[in-house]
Amino acid sequence: MKALLLIDVQNDFMPGGKLAVSEGDQIVPVINGLQNQFDLVIASQDWHPAEHLSFARNHLRHKAFDQIELNGLPQTLWPAHCVQGTEGAEFHPDLDSHRIAAIFRKGMNPDIDSYSAFYDNGHMQSTGLSGYLRELQVTTLYFTGLAADFCVYYSIQDALKAGFQCVLIEDATRAIDPENHEKQRQQLLADGVAIIHSGEL
């Protein structure tokens, strides 16, 4: 079975949001148009406590986008975003959510960031997504959402390690840093990920 994954289609990643991805809102109608082609639609949701240590505001003498080490891992410090219970953490209002079978929240541990929908960045704790998909006998995952070069990319990497076939729907995602994403794109192709346009489905 194949499943469609909607990675962090949340207000704070949209234009005007706390950590806006350029043209992020343009993927929403593309994702809406894809959903009926899948038996299973799953979403992930960044869901940070206000005191999360990936937020620049929680570090003296640091500002957004500084690079630090956090609990032994490299960490980009972000503007506070997708704080639990805020409007910024909600899904984009135009996202069709009625076919979303399950939502996997991530980034809830204040001590470690969590880009991937499968694990935190240190691979210390699973979200349970992999087991959920296996229970439903899913073999192929189609990825959409934000941002292409962070949460989408690292989710794909973890899915590959878990043995899933992976497809990136390129026009249903956007990157924070398109130049960095282009390098990652080449890596994904080398790893056997199919990269397609929504019109090819």
Residues annotated as catalytic (active site), given as ranges? 8, 106, 151
HSE, side-chain direction, 13 A CA sphere, residue 127: 28
Instruction: Write a three-state SS string for the chain.
Output: CEEEEEECCEHHHCCCCCCCCCCHHHHHHHHHHHHHHCCEEEEEEECECCCCCCEHHHCCCCCCCCEEEECCEEEECECCCCECCCHHHCECCCCCCCCEEEEEEECCCCCCCCCCCCECCCCCCECCHHHHHHHCCCCEEEEEEECHHHHHHHHHHHHHHCCCEEEEEEEEEECCCHHHHHHHHHHHHHCCCEEECHHHC
Interhelix angle 153-161/178-190, nearest 10 degrees: 20
Residue recorded with tokens 């204040």: 110
